[in-house]
Structure formats: C-alpha cells, structure tokens
Structure 1
Amino acid sequence: MTGAPLPEPAASPTATEEGVPSTARPPQPRWRQTLVLLARNPTAAVAGTVLLLIVLTAVFDEAIAPTGPNEIAVEDRLQPPSLAHPFGTDDLGRDILSRVILGAAVSLRVGFLAVTFALVVGALIGLLAGYYGRWVDDVLMRFMDILFAFPAVLLAIAVLAVRGPGAGNTALAIGIVYVPVFARVTRASVLGVREDVYVRASRSVGASDWRLLTRHVLPNAAPPIIVQTSISLAFAVLAEAALSFLGLGTQPPNPSWGLMLAEGRGFIDLAWWLAFFPGMAIFLTVLCFNLLGDGLRDVLDPRQRTLMAGSGR
C-alpha cells in the first residue's frame, strides 16, 4: 500500500551553535571600516574634527572673517585683544582675526597643492621603479637620490630663486622637495606586494601591466602612502610658513600665516599678539595633521587593524 507522498521539508534558517537563527550580513566597505576604527581612536577623531573645522574655515573664509584682510584703520593700530578685535590689530589697524582666517586659505592651499603634486609625481615614479625593477629602478632611484642630497629648504629656495616668489611657485618648490619622499615610500610598498599570490595569478592569466598596477598593486600598497600624505601636509604647511617668513613665499598684502609671523617679528616686545595667533594657527594645524597621521598608521596597519576590530577599541 502506497501512501501519499511526504511534503518536502522547508528550508530552515542558518542556526548558530545555540540554535538561534542568524542572518549573514554583507561585509562593510573597507573605507567605512577605516572610518569606524578611526573614530574609535579619541586622539585621531579629535584631530580629524579640528582639521575639518580648519578646512571649512579656509573654504568659507570670506563669509566668516569679520573684515577684509587689508582694511586699514589707523586709529585702531596695535590694539590688544578685545571684544571688538578678539585677536587684536596690527600696526596698520588691520584685524588679526580676519587675517588669520583669510590666511588659512592661502597656507592650506599651498600645502595641499604641493602635496598633491608630490603625491602624483612621486607615486608614479615609485610605482614604476618598484614594479619593473632592474634598470628602471636604478635610473629613477638614482635621480631621486640626487634630489635627496640637497637640504629641503635650500632646494626650495633654489627653485624659488629660478621661478620667483609667489604662492604658486612656493607650492611647486615644496612639491619638488617631497617628490623623492613619496617615490621611496611607494617603491618600498610596491616591492612588498608585487610578488604576492594574487599578483602572480593575475599575471599568469594575461592581465596587462596597467591593470596589475591599478587594480592590484597600487590599492594594496596605498596604506603607507596615505599615512605619508597626512604627515607631508603638516610639513608642507610648515615649509610654506618658513618660506613666507623669509620673504620668498606668499607676498604682501596677501595674508599668510608665515608672512604674518614676519610682520609681527618687529613688534614682539610691544604687541605680542601679532605673532602669537598666527603661530598658534600653524602649531594647531601641524599638530592635528601629525596626530591624524598616527591614527591612520594604526588603522591601516593589518595587524593593528585586526586587533582593533576584534577588541572593539
């Protein structure tokens, strides 16, 4: 006697060892994981927040500044910090707070342009030298060694002596100084990943060099380059301030933190606020870039990243 066919059992949800159903979550994108881990680092989170405020101040400088950078009021010259002028005034009666805010756009623009130039050129040189090796590596790295042989400030001064002073030429001079740094960092990172299994597997199936470099080698060699970018931004802001202080960078009447330091040097005994507030702006910006770089170094390091993700720190 044949009975009715038994119904097929319904698919049961995946269960854990305790018998509680669980749903599989898709993995988060790597950039989102990085932001989450970076936010868990209090020092890096505070530094990143302060830097964001500084960048926003530089972007919306004209809307935030109480007055223009060169509005002269002789009757208010050398006024100490007060409610009317929170950062005081200079020897021409110009508001120091407005000049610090407007100077952020000049100093940060030069820093970002310089590091962008150094990152693009240096990363390209390091990528080619590390991937191809042999005579390509020898020729490119010997040229970088020649640039490294010059002291950074003297090399920047030499470039400005040829090109002339100005914000654009200052960015170019600082960028040339940092090209060898990015080239060396990129080359070292590429040497560590160019013979990995996934690279050799892609090469064995006929992937082109361009695809290998852009899809496999560069993304996996990027973490040290990202950290170096943050650190170089700090030094680029310092370099711009030093060159402007020497009269080789941004030229008056454009406000620049380094130029404001130079202008306040002659009044340091009479009006301390002329040099104090631009100096504090440079100090705070450079400190935050360095602290953010330290946080990125911990987050992007594979071992530290695993420990931080596993411990919830």
Structure 2
Amino acid sequence: MTQLPTPGATPAAPPPSEPLPTAAPPRPRWRETLGLLARNPTAAVSAVVLVLIVLMAVFDETLAPDGPNDQDPSRQLQPPSWSHPFGTDEFGRDILSRVVLGAATSLRVGFLSVAFALVVGTLIGLLAGYYGRWVDDTLMRLMDVLFAFPAVLLAIAIVAIRGAGPANAILAIGIVYVPIFARVTRASVLGVREEVYVRASRSVGASDWRLITRHVLPNAAPPIIVQTSISLAFAVLAEAALSFLGLGPRRPNPSWGLMLADGRGFIDQAWWYTVFPGLAIVVTVLCFNLLGDGLRDVLDPRQRTLMAGGGR
C-alpha cells in the first residue's frame, strides 16, 4: 500500500543528479590527417627525408664544406674519401658541396613551376567544372591541345623559343603541368557541385564566389593535394632533363642535371661524378612519389575510415 504524505510535511528533496558526461571536442581535420599519415611508415619516412632535403637546400651555404666553384688542380678526380666524401670532379671541386648547393637550384625550379601550374590549372579546372557548358568545352579543349604534346618535348620547345635559364625552365615546366591540374580539379569539382550542401547554399542565394571558395574548392582539394606531391617529383625530373640538355641553369651554377651532363664524359674513370647527383635525384623523386601515395590513402574517405578504425 502506498503511504500518502502527511499534511503539512516538507517534501523530501530529490537526490542530486549526476552531471552528464560531455563529449570531447573533435580533433581538427588537419591534425587527424597528420596523425593518420604518421601511422604510414613509408609516407612518414619520406616526409622526414624531404624535410631534410628542403633544409639542406635552405641552408646550403652553411652545410656545404666548400664553395661551388672552389678549384684545386692537385685533387682532380679523386675518389670518395674522408676529406671529400663524394669525391672531386675534373677541376678539383668538391662534389658533396656541389650536390648540396645544387639542391637549392633543383628544388627552387620544381616548387615554383608546380606552384604556377597549381594556381593556373586549379583556376581553369574550377571554372570548367563549376560552370560547365561552353565554358567547360572551351577551356578543356585548350587543355587537350597542351596535353597532346609529350611533356618533356613541350618544355624543351618552350625553353628553346624563350632561351635557356632557370626562369624560362620554371615557366616551361609550369605550362606543361597546367593541363594535369586542370583535369584533376575539373573531375573533382564535377563530383562536388551537385552535393546537397552546395544546392542548399545556392537555394538561399549564396553567390558563385562564396560557393566555390567555401564549399566546392575545400571539398575538391584532396585529389589536388595528392597531384601536387606527384607533380613535384616529375618537376624535379623535368628540371634535371632540361639541365642535362643545357636548357636549365647555366654553368658554373651547380644543378643535379647539369652535374650529370658534366660527368658523363668521365663515367669510366670517375663513377662517383654521376652516381651521387643521380642518387640525389632518385631519392628526391622517390620520396615525393611515396608521400603522394600516403596522402592518397589518408585523404580518400574509405581508406581514411579504415585507417582511423585500425584497419577493422
């Protein structure tokens, strides 16, 4: 039987309720991406090596044992030793110093050319993918014309017309890779522009500029980031090819491709002359490609879910 409360009695206070647990704030997306990238040992090691190469290019004069053109006839074509770990060339110049100093030239051309291609190609791809119709047809047919030429031959033709030098090499390599960024960006934008959140923003009167910058481009960025890493690898190769043909930096400025060209005549008697600049190119290109593969896995939504869940 339920006991009724006594008239005039003070009702008992309810027991204190326990505070509800608060959810932890979500981690920023960039921090989560870096965490997932660090779980990939190949991509993590490649990123560390690339950071070291970039630091070597930035502090090249501090790290180089000698100047790029310090000659000593008494030490011509000496093999690797404690005093000259990479050996010397036909003028007695230290190859280690020239490899270190050449990193700045090769990476500068690679980064600036890819930056040019990234800006121009992304802008073209955004306009073509977002507006479609005649804008898409006109811009992408122009990109198809450029894409029809072999990359290295087109770069050689541009440099041959404008003249040799680092500035023209940057322009030539950048023009070659504009169609690639335009195609990647257009394909990504075509998949994003019809999403629900884009249509909802358009229905409430958002301008095209706001839609492109706030919704379309951020969600279309992952493939562009991956393509940037891969294009950096090919840009370093293209710079080495132009320098090897005498269309890049002029002598006596050090460049990895130019060192390969200078050492090919001594490959029988001085293997170190071409091996160490070649290894610098191989390691840099390989690390950019491996980092691009890691970024592709991390930025892909399906792979990202698997990696975040521990592969279950």
TM over 0.5: yes
Aligned to 1:4: 10
Match of 2:19 among 7, 13, 16: 13
**How many Å apart are 1:153 and its aligned residue?**
1.2
Partner residue of 2:4?
A: none
Q: Does 1:233 align with 2:213?
A: no
Q: What pairs up with 1:182-261 in 2 under 5 angstroms?
A: 182-261=181-260
* Aligned mates of 2:245, 2:54 — CA distance in 1: 25
Write the distance in 1 (CA, Å) between the matches of 2:50 and 2:82.
26
1:69 aligned partner = 68
Given residue 174 of structure 1, which amino acid in structure 2 is its aligned partner?
Answer: I
Equivalent position of 1:41 in the other structure: 40
**Counterpart residue number, 2:157:** 158
Count of matched residue pairs: 306
Name the CA distance, whole Å, in 1 between partners of 2:237 and 2:15: 71
Matches within 5 A, 1:119-134: 119-134=118-133
TM-score, normalised relative to structure 1? 0.96
Which residue in 2 is equivalent to 1:60? 59
Alpha-carbon displacement from aligned partner over 1:260-296 (angstroms, at most 9, x marks no partner) = 0000000000101010000000000000000000000
For the residues of structure 1 that align with 2:57 and 2:157, how far apart are their CA atoms?
Answer: 29
Could you say what secondary structure the match of 2:205 adopts?
A: coil
Deviation at residue 9 of structure 1 after TM alignment: 4.8
Residue 18 (structure 1) aligns with? none
Aligned to 1:168: 167
Give the secondary structure class of the aligned counterpart of 2:309: helix
Runs of 4+ aligned residues of structure 1 deviating over 2 Å after TM superposition are: 2-11
Please, which runs of 5 or more residues in structure 1 have no aligned partner?
A: 15-21
Task: Return the index of the structure with the highest Cα Rg.
Answer: 2
Give the deviation of 1:110 after TM superposition: 0.3
RMSD: 1.2
Amino acid paired to 1:109? R
AA at the equivalent of 2:266: F
Amino acid across the alignment from 1:12: E
1 CA distance for matches of 2:213 and 2:11?
58
Corresponding position: 1:115 with 2:114:
yes
What's the offset of the Cα at 1:5?
4.8
CA distance in 2, matches of 1:189, 1:128: 12
**Distance (whole Å) between structure 2 residues aligned to residue 305 and residue 85 of structure 1:** 46
Q: Percent identity?
A: 78
CA distance, structure 1, for counterparts of residue 68 and residue 12 of structure 2? 86
Match of 1:79 in 2: 78
* Number of the residue aligned with 2:147: 148
Aligned: 1:306 with 2:305: yes
Could you tell me how far 1:2 is from its partner in structure 2?
Answer: 2.8
What is aligned with 1:19? Answer: none
- SS of the counterpart of 2:27? coil
Deviation of 1:311 (Å): 1.3
| Paired letter, 2:43 | A
Distance of 2:17 and 2:204 partners within structure 1: 39
Letter aligned with residue 235 of structure 2? A
Q: Which moved more, 1:149-158 or 1:227-236?
A: 149-158
Change (3 A) 1:9 1:121: farther
Whole-angstrom CA distance in 1 between matches of 2:124 and 2:241:
28
CA–CA separation in structure 2 for the residues paired with 1:3 and 1:166: 98
SS at match of 1:311: coil
1:101, 1:13 → 2: CA distance? 61
- What is the rounded CA distance, in whole Å, between the counterparts of 1:42 and 1:223 in structure 2? 20
1:7: Cα distance to partner? Answer: 3.6
Structure 2: tracts of 5 or more residues without a match: 1-6
